[in-house]
Structure 1
Amino acid sequence: MVILTTRAEPGSSDARSLIDLSMTAEQREKARQLVEMADGHTLRLHLPRGSVLRPGDVLLSDTGEPVARIRAEPEPVYTLRADDPFALLRAAYHLGNRHVAMELAPDYLRIKPDHVLAHLIGHLGGLRIIDESAAFVPEKGAYMAHHYAH
Structure 2
Amino acid sequence: MDVGLIVLDHRLRSEELSPNGSLSVMELPLSAHQRTVLRGRRRTACGREVLLQLPRERALMPGDRLTDSHEQLHVLVTAAPEELLRVEAATPLALLEAAYHLGNRHVALELHEHELLLLDDSVLATMLNGRGLKVTRCCRPFMPEGGAYIGHQHS
**Match status 1:79 vs 2:86:** yes
**Match status 1:35 vs 2:39:** no
Task: Please give the per-residue CA displacement for 1:79-99, whole angstroms capped at 9, x wherever unaligned.
Answer: 112232222111111100000
**Match status 1:135 vs 2:141:** yes
Per the alignment, residue 65 of structure 2 pairs with: 58
CA distance in 2, matches of 1:144, 1:34: 25
Moved more, 102-111 or 9-18: 9-18
Moved more, 71-80 or 14-23: 14-23
Moved more, 89-98 or 103-112: 103-112
Q: How much does 1:71 deviate?
A: 0.9
Higher relative contact order (CA 8 A, sep 6+): 1
Q: Indicate conservation of the 8 Å contact 2:27/2:45, yes or no.
A: no
Per the alignment, residue 119 of structure 1 pairs with: 126
Per the alignment, residue 91 of structure 1 pairs with: 98
Per the alignment, residue 47 of structure 1 pairs with: 54
Q: Which runs of 4+ in 1 moved over 6 A?
A: none
Give the SS at the match of 1:88. Answer: helix
Q: How much does 1:123 deviate?
A: 2.5
Residue correspondences, number: 146
Q: How much does 1:64 deviate?
A: 5.2
Q: TM-score, normalised by structure 2?
A: 0.79
Q: TM-score, normalised by structure 1?
A: 0.81
Q: How much does 1:124 deviate?
A: 2.2
Give the unaligned 5+ runs of structure 2.
none
Q: Indicate conservation of the 8 Å contact 1:11/1:58, yes or no.
A: no
RMSD: 2.7
Q: How much does 1:128 deviate?
A: 1.0
Q: How much does 1:50 deviate?
A: 6.7
Which AA in structure 2 matches 1:6?
H
CA distance in 1, matches of 2:148, 2:73: 28
Which AA in structure 1 matches 2:138?
E
Per the alignment, residue 10 of structure 2 pairs with: 6
Task: Please give the per-residue CA displacement for 1:84-134, whole angstroms capped at 9, x wherever unaligned.
Answer: 222211111110000001111222111111121112212222x21111111
